């Protein structure tokens, strides 16, 4: 990101057409109402499921004494993982100076905000007595990674929200006069949120400085959030979790899931909003390359994580690995590794598959596999505690997610989609001022 902005682009005619393109879909449309109606009604069903759980407790789930972390925690890890992409794209790639991330950065930030915000709720859904939530803080021990996790998730969410909001401010000001097709309350909201933005050089200087601080600050925070999440497992002495590379392993996996999520959202925005001019084939091509890169890194960590223990085959570890490789979880394990990791890597090496639609299909497969991957990390380990399971009913020794549990998990996903839809529908998804500035510079250079 440049440290100074040439505000000449404000006088450029091109700004009008760019703003018109990007602002056209903003506001309440029929499609939006139908889509939100669908999401809302589905969410009601899931909230009812949660009401049952609230009333009866976790007995309505498949969780019992031995396998006490199931779908919810797997889902939590998945959410945290997916949200990390905000840091990867706007911060790491942006600071290095890749120009192509500009129109995608805000999409990545939206994904970060939506997933990080709901991740906290997912944890609450895993609590049998959610009304005692405050006890986590009141009686928390600073030695517990759970406290570190709570701290760092909150911090990451706050920074992500700011990183979404700050670059939006000039856009809100630009949009003000061009929003006649939208409801009055939305225009008022723009007025408030644009914090008296006048495009003065002084304001740009302050804004760019603040953004720069956040872009740097979010890197250690994002590393911390997912490393700490991985420590929730890695500090527990159990086969499958007792690993020193869990931090980087989780981070690498997070970038895979996040990149896939960005591609999916990009695809729907491009096709629904007719924004092919801004989200071009080139952007999909670059995202494809990014996905290959992070997938290869993740594959490398997977090989480390499974090959080393399976070479030694320590007794407890062997039982766990047997379950994954040829036992109960073999089908899920190999589908995730082959369909969700190896195959996408091979396909995306060819530019033929880095086209928007095939990227969409591949990304959906990758994202689904990413969810099941978290399930494979969380659940099978608990099937084999070091001390044998005794004196409990047979049903308590295996984990079978219930319908209620599944509905609540689906509900959290719906919530994420609702947040993304609202942000995408009520605010410009592509940074208008950055696009206009870039265009202005390009035109200027060619004139000279």
Partner 1 sequence: MKRYFILLIIVLFSMQLSAQEWVVAPAEAALKSPFAFTDSTRKAGEVIYVANCKSCHGDPGKNNVIQLVPIPPDAASVKMQANTDGALHSKLIQGRGAMPSFKNTLSSTDLWRVISFMRGFNPKYVQEVAVPTIGSASAQNVSIKLNWNKTSGQVEALLTSLKENIAQPVAGAEVKLFAKRFFGNLPIDEARKSDALGKVSFNFPKDLPGDSIGNVQLVVKLTDEVAFGEASAEANLTVGVPTNRPALTDQRSMWGVLEKSPVWLIFAYVLAVLTAWGFIAYVVLQIRAIYRAGSKE
User: Which residues of this protein are in contact with partner 1, per CB under 8 A?
Assistant: 140-143, 148, 151, 155, 158-159, 162, 166, 169, 195-198, 200, 202-203, 206-207, 209-210, 213-214, 217, 221, 224, 388, 390-391
Query: Shortest Cβ distance from residue 231 to partner 1 (Å)?
Result: 12
Q: In terms of CB distance, is 225 or 347 closer to partner 1?
A: 225
Q: C-alpha distances in angstroms, 236 versus 321, 382, 443?
A: 17, 11, 58
Q: Which of 427, 421, 419 is nearest to 167 (CA)?
A: 427
What is the rounded (10 degree) CA torsion for 154, 159, 162, 166? 180
Cβ-based nearer residue to partner 1, 197 or 301: 197
60 within 8 A of 400, measured Cβ to Cβ: no
Residue 435: both structure tokens together? 């696009």
In the complex, the smallest distance separating the C-beta of residue 203 from partner 1, rounded to whole angstroms, is 5
Contact between residue 199 and residue 10 where contact means Cβ atoms under 8 Å apart: yes
Could you tell me which of 380, 367, 363, 375 has the C-alpha nearest to residue 406? 375
Least Å from the CB of residue 295 to partner 1? 30
CB of 260 to partner 1, least distance (A): 28
Considering beta carbons, is residue 152 or 264 the nearer one to partner 1?
A: 152
Q: Could you give the CA distance from residue 286 to residue 263 in angstroms, rounded to a whole number?
A: 10
HSE (side-chain half, CA atoms, 13 Å) at 179: 23
Question: 354 or 384, CB closer to partner 1?
Answer: 384
For 243, phi then psi, to 5°, come to -140, 145
The CA distances from residue 147 to 3, 139, 245, in Å, are 37, 10, 21
Cβ distance to partner 1 smaller for residue 155 or 280:
155
Work out how close the CB of 363 gets to partner 1 at its nearest, in angstroms, rounded to a whole number: 31
Specify the residue, 224 or 266, whose C-beta has the smaller distance to partner 1: 224
CB of residue 322 to partner 1, shortest distance in Å: 15
């Amino acid at each position: 990101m440049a440290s100074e902005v040439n505000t000449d682009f404000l006088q450029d005619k091109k700004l009008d057409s760019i703003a018109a393109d990007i602002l056209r879909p903003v506001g309440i449309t029929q499609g939006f109402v139908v889509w939100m109606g669908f999401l809302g009604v589905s969410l009601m069903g899931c909230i009812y499921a949660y009401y049952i759980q609230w009333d009866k407790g976790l007995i309505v789930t498949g969780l019992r004494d031995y396998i006490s972390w199931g779908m919810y925690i797997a889902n939590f890890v998945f959410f945290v993982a997916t949200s990390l992409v905000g840091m990867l794209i706007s911060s790491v790639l942006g600071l290095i100076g890749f120009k192509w991330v500009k129109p995608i950065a805000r999409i990545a930030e939206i994904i970060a905000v939506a997933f990080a915000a709901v991740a906290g709720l997912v944890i609450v859904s895993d609590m049998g007595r959610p009304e005692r939530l405050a006890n986590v803080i009141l009686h928390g021990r600073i030695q517990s990674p759970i406290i570190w996790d709570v701290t760092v998730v909150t911090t990451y969410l706050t920074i992500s929200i700011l990183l979404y909001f700050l670059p939006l401010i000039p856009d809100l000001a630009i949009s003000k006069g061009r929003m006649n097709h939208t409801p009055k309350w939305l225009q008022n909201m723009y007025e408030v949120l644009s914090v008296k933005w006048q495009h003065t050089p002084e304001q740009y200087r302050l804004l760019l400085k603040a953004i720069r601080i956040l872009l740097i600050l979010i890197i250690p925070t994002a590393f911390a959030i997912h490393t700490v999440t991985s420590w929730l497992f890695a500090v527990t002495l159990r086969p499958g979790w007792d690993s020193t590379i869990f931090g980087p392993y989780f981070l690498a996996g997070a970038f895979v899931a996040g990149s896939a999520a960005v591609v999916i959202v990009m695809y729907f925005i491009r096709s629904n909003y007719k924004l092919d001019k801004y989200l071009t084939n080139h952007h999909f091509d670059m995202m494809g390359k990014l996905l290959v890169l992070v997938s290869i890194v993740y594959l490398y960590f997977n090989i480390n994580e499974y090959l080393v223990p399976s070479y030694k085959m320590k007794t407890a570890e062997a039982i766990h690995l047997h379950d994954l490789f040829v036992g109960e979880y073999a089908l899920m394990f190999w589908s995730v590794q082959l369909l969700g990791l190896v195959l996408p890597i091979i396909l995306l090496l060819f530019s033929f598959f880095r086209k928007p639609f095939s990227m969409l299909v591949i990304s959906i497969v990758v994202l689904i596999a990413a969810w099941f991957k978290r399930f494979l990390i969380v659940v099978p380990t608990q099937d084999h505690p070091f001390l044998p399971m005794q004196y409990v009913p047979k049903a308590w020794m295996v984990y079978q997610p219930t319908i209620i549990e599944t509905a609540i998990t689906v509900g959290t996903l719906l919530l994420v989609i609702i947040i993304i839809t609202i942000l995408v529908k009520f605010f410009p998804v592509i940074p208008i001022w950055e696009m206009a500035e870039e265009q202005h510079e390009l035109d200027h250079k060619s004139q000279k």
